[in-house]
Amino acid sequence: MAEEIQKKMQKELELLGGIQKEFRKAISQKQQLDSQLNENKAVKVELSLLAKDAEVYKLIGPVLVKQDLNEATQNVAKRMEYISKEIKRADDHISALENKQEAHQENLNKLKNDLNRLKLKA
């Protein structure tokens, strides 16, 4: 009986470790998205400071290509919208992973209690 509980605990620990690894990866991705959003906010502010007839260039590979100010502003806004949606998706994923972690942690605690009860009986 105790051996069976220990095997279950080992399996739960492995599952929990995998979820924690995925959790850390999701947090890292969210931080990267937050960074990209902040960069785009800074670009939007800079673009808003420019005069309507200002020349704007976009870096494409090793070449600077002239771009319309309105087009550049719209591109930044679309990029910010996309990044915001990705951040929301990442938050939902992180929340789901937290719930999974809690469930596995509760299972582990239950198994530990069961094992301790068996040891006390013996």
Kindly calculate the radius of gyration of the chain based on its CA atoms and give it in whole angstroms.
25
pLDDT over 80 at 122, yes or no: no
Neighbours of 102 (CB within 10 A): 10
- Cα separations (Å) of 39 from 6, 32, 35, 36, 75? 49, 11, 6, 5, 13
Q: What pLDDT, on the 0 to 100 scale, is given for residue 3?
A: 85
pLDDT over 80 at 67, yes or no: yes
Q: What pLDDT, on the 0 to 100 scale, is given for residue 119?
A: 82
Q: What pLDDT, on the 0 to 100 scale, is given for residue 31?
A: 98
Reported as a single tens digit per residue, the pLDDT across 10-60 is 999 999 999 999 999 999 999 999 999 999 999 999 999 999 999 999 999
> What average pLDDT does the chain have?
94
Reported as a single tens digit per residue, the pLDDT across 70-105 is 999 999 999 999 999 999 999 999 999 999 999 999
In CATH, what number does 2-121 get?
1.10.287.370
